[in-house]
Structure 1
Amino acid sequence: KKLEAEGIFSLNKRPKPRGIQKIGIITAKEGAALQDVRRTIASRWPMAELFLFPATVQGKQAPASILKALDQADDAGLDAILLVRGGGSFEDLFCFNDENIARRLAHMKTYTVTGVGHEVDTTLADFAADQRTATPTAAAQWITPDQKEVWQWFEQKRAQLIQSMNARMDQAAARLLQYQSNPYLADPLSWAQKKELELAAVSTRLKSAQASFAAAQQNRLASLRLQLNRQSPQARIQVELVRLGQLDQMLGQSMQEFARGQRDRLCRNASLLDAYSPLKVLSRGYALVSAEGQLVYSTADIQAGALVDVRLHDGTLEAQVLKTNQGRSVTGKNDRHDVQEEQ
């Protein structure tokens, strides 16, 4: 939990390098793990270069020895480093749980692989390394390709290359045959002379076609000019100008007649309006009586004591009705005292 909190196990793991050739091995010099790794690499990839960094892998001195070997291997410019040990008890493998070893593995600049103990054994070094394998043999297998598989891969690529080259050769042969059957390549001079004759014939036809086209266009242009002269707008413009002058003269006369008719009509309407003007009727001694804005047409429409407006030809009177007499004229001499004038 302490190392996990420091991020030792979550640091970015380096990917497996391509073309691993220089391999460092950190283990006991006389241990069985070293022999297993050598034997496995020799059978799988014998061209690899192996560099041993011996270390104590059991006991109290093991952590310091392993740390020293890790420092030496990390500075040796290798492609990968194997930290391996054969099987043993939990106590035998406990040195690989050292905190400093885990921290050093997490900060290595070289790709690291662990193979400690057997399948069921797991240490803190396994969690901190870039890759964990079950055993030293598995670590050697992980870090090296199988030469037989590589040989098969090369054979497959060789067959594909041969097939591709044969296909390209077939294409080149077909193209060569096509070139050889080409009349230009077979006899360039005859081909050029033939093409020269064809070009001369085409040039003659082109000149003839150009002359025919030019003559046809000249004839068409002459015809269009003749039609244009026939449809010249000059004569029509003169006719329309005369017609426009006549219409302008007729319009002026019509406007004068219309204005005289409107003046005569206005005079007649003014005479009729003056004849029927209510002011003239009032000037002959008549009056208009209204109460509350409504004209009074009958004595039945008004009550005694009501206020009325009396419109004369030269002004308005405000009066109060003292009483009403039906059937008698309100303008008689005997009834003049029935109306009281008010300012």
Structure 2
Amino acid sequence: MSASSYLTVKALTKYIKRKFDADPHLRDVYVKGELSNVKIHSSGHIYFTLKDDASRIQATMFRTQATKLSFKPEEGMMVYIRGDVNVYETSGSYQLYAQTMEPDGIGGLFVAFNQLKESLQKEGLFNPNFKQPIPQFPKTVGVLTATTGAAIRDICTTINRRYPQAEIQIYPTLVQGTGAAANIAKNIKLANVHAQCDVLIVGRGGGSIEDLWAFNEEIVARAIFESRIPIISAVGHETDTTIADFVADLRAPTPTAAAELAVPNQQELFQRILASQTSLHQIMTAQLRFERNRLTKYKQSYPLATPERLYRPFTERLAQTEMQLQQAVQVYMMKRRSELDKLAANIKLYSPAQTIRLHQQKRTQLQNQLTSVMHHHLAQEKARLVANIRTLAALNPLTMMEKGFSVTYHNESIVKQASQLTTGDTVQIRYQDGLVSATVTNIELQQKGE
């Protein structure tokens, strides 16, 4: 058989793929199985294996279909899949391309609800430590709901009936359908930017889980958690529970109940004020009666009946203290008079004239001492000068020349050794009384040691 008769792997794979494409039983198939080796790629595609007790098949769900899932596929989950079976040419293997996926036994929305609830709970979004207190007397109540439903009517009616002093700020909001979650989160952030409300009521009336699903979206949960304004969640009826209920600062079973939790009842406040006034009046009356009885009792007591006996000891002590004070003043005055006499004597002793006389005597004494010291110092310096003059006279070259010594110059330099001259040099010889020029005719050098 010639080489041209052999198929390439690519050609064979394409042929098999065309067979798969032509088979109507491999299109729009419904398969039930267990998810295994689930990998959610960063591109958004989902790669997994679908298996049962006997077999397994590789499967892929592309991003376009994966973004429509209401839950996150996980390892071991039983699912129902609708899709097509075809050949992946690169590996030459067949696989299932999933179009839709639903969990087995329970709805996909319920799975998504539990998955998001578990994830946010791990992050701490349900932690009671992050819950903000609801203000007791709000000035402005913000309401985020649809303007056409019964919820807005029930909330406004309840607030106006219970606490008409509060202003109601309505943020018209989509609470159902496409874009509802994003609109709820946007209005929560907008209310925080306006910063006019003291508390926010976020919710809607009852409905199916699909109708309430916007309040189970992660974007709404995070907007509620990040709100600086306390939020009351009021979604559906008392039996309905959403993710928003777990994250909110306070959960109300119904919109009407949310309005009751947001504002106080002014009638109850009036009753409490009246009760407090009555109680305060009774307490003050009883206290006045008690104090009046005490005053009457004190007035009738023995000490107050004869008050002079109370202060008599103090009067006697005061008189005694006055006598002691007078004696102390007399002693002090005598002492001060003695000190003044001594001071007068000292002033007389150290009068200005006496002080001048003493300083003049001291000045004369210091002048005499200074004159004596100067004479002694001049005598010492004169003796030192005479000694120095004698020393200089002894070292004077002219004095040496008087004894017959002379100084020889050559080229204006003193000749200290005969080796500095050569025969024929002209030298100048300095004597005491003049200068002589001479020519060197003979030089005899003396050997060392001779």
State the TM-score, normalized to the length of structure 1. Answer: 0.51
Name the residue aligned to 1:112. Answer: 231
Distance 1:171 1:86, change over 3 A: same
RMSD: 3.0
Question: Out of 118, 121, 124, which is 1:4 matched to?
Answer: 121
**Which letter maps to 1:68?**
K
Structure 1 CA distance for aligned equivalents of residues 294 and 166 of structure 2: 47
Matched, 1:89 2:205: no
- The correspondence of residues 10-49 of structure 1 with structure 2, limited to 5 A, is 10=127, 12-49=130-167
Structure 1 CA distance for aligned equivalents of residues 179 and 314 of structure 2: 100
Structure 1 CA distance for aligned equivalents of residues 313 and 197 of structure 2: 76
Name the residue aligned to 2:170. Answer: 52
Matched, 1:164 2:283: yes
Name the residue aligned to 2:308. Answer: 192
Instruction: Write the deviation string for residues 289-343 of structure 1: whole angstroms up to 9, x where unpaired.
Output: xxxxxxxxxxxxxxxxxxxxxxxxxxxxxxxxxxxxxxxxxxxxxxxxxxxxxxx
Structure 1 residue runs of 5 or longer lacking an equivalent are: 201-343
Percent identity (aligned) = 39
Structure 2 CA distance for aligned equivalents of residues 54 and 132 of structure 1: 21
More helix by share: 1
Structure 2 residue runs of 5 or longer lacking an equivalent are: 1-114, 317-450
Question: Cα distance, 1:128 vs. partner?
Answer: 1.4
2:303–2:309 CA contact under 8 A, matched in 1: no
Distance 1:107 1:177, change over 3 A: same
- The correspondence of residues 1-343 of structure 1 with structure 2, limited to 5 A, is 1=115, 2-10=119-127, 12-75=130-193, 76-178=195-297, 180-181=299-300, 191-192=307-308, 196=312
Structure 1 CA distance for aligned equivalents of residues 143 and 310 of structure 2: 80
Question: Cα distance, 1:182 vs. partner?
Answer: 6.3
Name the residue aligned to 1:240. Answer: none
Question: Cα distance, 1:123 vs. partner?
Answer: 1.5
2:235–2:241 CA contact under 8 A, matched in 1: yes
**Which letter maps to 1:146?**
N
Instruction: Write the deviation string for residues 247-281 of structure 1: whole angstroms up to 9, x where unpaired.
Output: xxxxxxxxxxxxxxxxxxxxxxxxxxxxxxxxxxx
Structure 2 CA distance for aligned equivalents of residues 194 and 40 of structure 1: 69
Aligned residues between the structures:
198
Distance 1:114 1:194, change over 3 A: closer
Question: Cα distance, 1:72 vs. partner?
Answer: 1.8
Question: Cα distance, 1:33 vs. partner?
Answer: 0.7
More strand by share: 2
1:117–1:135 CA contact under 8 A, matched in 2: yes
**Which letter maps to 1:33?**
A
Question: Cα distance, 1:64 vs. partner?
Answer: 2.1
Instruction: Write the deviation string for residues 161-218 of structure 1: whole angstroms up to 9, x where unpaired.
Output: 00111022213322443465468878xxx84389659988xxxxxxxxxxxxxxxxxx
Structure 1 CA distance for aligned equivalents of residues 172 and 237 of structure 2: 21
Question: Cα distance, 1:78 vs. partner?
Answer: 2.5
Range with greater deviation from structure 2 (114-123 or 172-181): 172-181
Distance 1:182 1:9, change over 3 A: closer
Runs of 4+ in structure 1 deviating by more than 4 angstroms, as ranges, are 178-186, 193-200
**Which letter maps to 1:38?**
C
Structure 2 CA distance for aligned equivalents of residues 47 and 60 of structure 1: 37
Structure 2 CA distance for aligned equivalents of residues 47 and 109 of structure 1: 23
Structure 2 CA distance for aligned equivalents of residues 155 and 58 of structure 1: 46
Question: Cα distance, 1:98 vs. partner?
Answer: 1.5
Query: Which secondary structure state, in structure 1, belongs to the residue aligned with residue 231 of structure 2?
Result: strand
Distance 1:197 1:27, change over 3 A: closer
1:53–1:72 CA contact under 8 A, matched in 2: no
1:27–1:83 CA contact under 8 A, matched in 2: yes
Structure 2 CA distance for aligned equivalents of residues 8 and 196 of structure 1: 78
Instruction: Write the deviation string for residues 112-151 of structure 1: whole angstroms up to 9, x where unpaired.
Output: 1111111222221112111112210111112222223222
**Which letter maps to 1:73?**
A
Structure 2 CA distance for aligned equivalents of residues 58 and 110 of structure 1: 23
Distance 1:103 1:178, change over 3 A: same
Structure 1 CA distance for aligned equivalents of residues 311 and 187 of structure 2: 84
2:136–2:263 CA contact under 8 A, matched in 1: no
Distance 1:133 1:180, change over 3 A: same
Structure showing greater radius of gyration is: 1
Distance 1:185 1:60, change over 3 A: same
**Which letter maps to 2:246?**
F
State the TM-score, normalized to the length of structure 2. Answer: 0.40
Question: Cα distance, 1:3 vs. partner?
Answer: 2.7
